[in-house]
Chains A and B, each alone.
Chain A
């Protein structure tokens, strides 16, 4: 019991109860929302794992598609995915980070850059099939690249470019201006300040954005179908100009077959896709960890 100071803000016991109840209620709602997400992912993983794990073995990874479910494998699709992702990253990461650096560090704040900024943010929301049409017109026909890995990679690259730019700008913006000032005041050029002081600090955030973007690209089907990726490929791609298919397309083609056994193949394909995705993320996490340790931010 506190004495001496008259405390005039004391709410009535009833009000107090309502406040407490709202508080608890909100925590409960939040937990429910989280649980729903975890539950959904859990069910998905469990379902996919139980269906697919029986099929998953070395033969499955090392075989070509087949008319019989038992003999079918993901080799061309897996390699196709790896090829396409490598070239997508090769194209989109430098261009995206470069654009972000220009917009964030060098471009003035005027109407022109504002329009570009709005455009980039909007592009991040454009449906992927639209990018497929762009890729078809631009890379397939105009550049005459055909239904090749490069066409697919460039198309997916365009698709994830806005995501990378937005994330990289976010990373650059989070570096305190005092770091830039310190470098500039020592007689560094703007580029030296960005290259040696700002970018290293921003890199972990930038990498996170890159991974999110690549994760989006790895699951895309629509734009690749539009640019003419095959559903079933019976050879292994050996050069960037080869035709290709990717895992999501292969999974889709299996899942749409009524014959027994193909459903299990599709599930196993999903496991392979998830493993590829997870290993990509873990490389990025490791890289980020290493950078953060070395840069000591």
Chain B
């Protein structure tokens, strides 16, 4: 499915030359099933601080793209730019992100509507302090799903997140009574319920034990057949296990994160093109 690493690498070389016409580069890449997301010359700021510099990155439709890199290199910031959550924390963004061909930073784009099409799972499981059912129903209600469909969609989403059998008898019990791993699967189910086209995951396993992590990873693999998933992880083994493509970010002297390499996961881990990627993967820094 993915054998255009050469193209990717060419694109990266071009995009890393600052000031180059990176918009042009992304659009010349030709893939049979297109891209779910095309990040073009993206800069992300916190106030005056440049957190992420000049990222140009196409994200293939369906499958998992992992974002790895040392802490503080802007991985989370990058994914938060993809559903316009970055601007909520007072952040500022330059550049373009094409979601299904449309620039989400174009004037007139409704960020609220956009977020209902892009799901997000956070570092720490953050279920609402309500019943399991209500956790899923909230997203459905605010997005205008008819009341009579709620129960069906809730069940379907919980099944999809491999949680149904564990919680079917206690849908009206508090979600906070679930274990950490179950809570995180509930959060995934909650994101799935509103039928997103893309799912962003920001270190979804960093607060979980190894068994729960494994369950989530299995889930991610099975979701990858239908969804486009972008996952941030600080765990390289995890990236190797779950992702089809990997992006390696690192940061410069000015602490701004930038992209070093993007390619098929197997290639990144076995034969990285860049010395810095190799150093990171082999544990020499980061």
Nearest first, the 6 A-B pairs at minimum CB distance are: A187-B116, A178-B126, A186-B139, A185-B120, A296-B174, A297-B129
Q: Given the known inter-chain contacts A182-B128, A197-B128, A296-B174, please indicate yes or no for A187 contacting B120, CB distance below 8 A.
A: no
Are B194 and A186 in touch, CB under 8 angstroms?
yes
Task: Give chain A residues whose Cβ lies under 8 Å from the Cβ of B191.
Answer: 185-186
Are B85 and A188 in touch, CB under 8 angstroms?
no
Are A188 and B126 in touch, CB under 8 angstroms?
no
Q: How far is it, in angstroms, between the C-alpha of A189 and the C-alpha of B129 when the chains are bound?
A: 19
Are A188 and B112 in touch, CB under 8 angstroms?
yes
Q: Report the nearest B residue to A297, measured CB to CB.
A: B129
Q: How far is it, in angstroms, between the C-alpha of A231 and the C-alpha of B131 when the chains are bound?
A: 53
User: Number of contact residues on A: which range applies?
Assistant: 10 to 19
Q: Which of A176, A187, A201, A297 is close to B139, meaning CB atoms less than 8 Å apart?
A: A187
Tell me the smallest distance from the CB of B232 to a CB of chain A, in Å: 14
User: Number of contact residues on B: which range applies?
Assistant: 20 to 34
Are B115 and A184 in touch, CB under 8 angstroms?
yes
Are A183 and B129 in touch, CB under 8 angstroms?
no
Q: Which of A179, A184, A192 is close to B128, meaning CB atoms less than 8 Å apart?
A: A179
Q: Is B190 in the interface zone, CB < 8 Å from A?
A: yes
Main SS class of interface, A: helix
User: Which residues from chain B sit less than 8 Å from chain A, CB to CB?
Assistant: 83, 85, 88, 112-117, 119-120, 122, 124, 126-131, 138-139, 142-143, 174, 176, 187, 190-191, 194
Are A188 and B120 in touch, CB under 8 angstroms?
no
Are B88 and A184 in touch, CB under 8 angstroms?
yes
Q: Which of A91-107 contact B (CB under 8 A)?
A: none
A-B contact pairs, 8 of them (CB 8 A): A178-B126, A179-B128, A185-B120, A186-B191, A186-B194, A187-B139, A188-B142, A297-B176
Q: Is A196 in the interface zone, CB < 8 Å from B?
A: yes
Task: Give chain A residues whose Cβ lies under 8 Å from the Cβ of B122.
Answer: 178, 181-182, 185
Are A201 and B129 in touch, CB under 8 angstroms?
yes
Q: Is A295 in the interface zone, CB < 8 Å from B?
A: yes
**What 0/1 readout, one digit per residue, does chain A (255-297) give for beta carbons within 8 Å of chain B?**
0000000000000000000000000000000000000000111
Q: How far is it, in angstroms, between the C-alpha of A192 and the C-alpha of B128 when the chains are bound?
A: 13
Q: Given the known inter-chain contacts A178-B124, A192-B142, please indicate yes or no for A295 contacting B190, CB distance below 8 A.
A: no
Are A179 and B126 in touch, CB under 8 angstroms?
yes
Task: Give chain A residues whose Cβ lies under 8 Å from the Cβ of B126.
Answer: 176, 178-179, 181-182
Tell me the smallest distance from the CB of B124 to a CB of chain A, in Å: 6
